[in-house]
Amino acid sequence: MSIIYLLLTISVIVAIIFFAAFIFSVKKGQYDDTYTPSVRMLFEDEIKSEKSTKQQLTNNN
């Protein structure tokens, strides 16, 4: 049953890693602007590809 020492240590370390990641992300300003990235991720990467997909859509219709 002394495996519980190991398990506890691992669980606490994992928790601390996540906690440190949270602090780091706040410090880097990742939570300063929570709106713009949500819009940005919907943009097409390449303008050309956007056009062609659009044309395809209209062709399909």
Q: Token digits for 50?
A: 């956007």
Please give the full DSSP string across the chain, using - where no structure is assigned: -THHHHHHHHHHHHHHHHHHHHHHHHHTTTTT-SSHHHHHTTS-S-HHHHHHHHHHHHHH-
Q: From the list 23, 52, 55, 56, which residue makes contact with other proteins (rule: CB under 8 A)?
A: 23
12 binds other proteins, rule: CB under 8 A? yes
Q: Lay out the site mask for other proteins across 24-43 (x = CB under 8 A, - = otherwise).
A: --xx---xxx-xx--xx-xx
Footprint of other proteins (CB under 8 A): 1, 4-5, 8, 12, 15, 19, 22-23, 26-27, 31-33, 35-36, 39-40, 42-44, 47-48, 50-51, 54
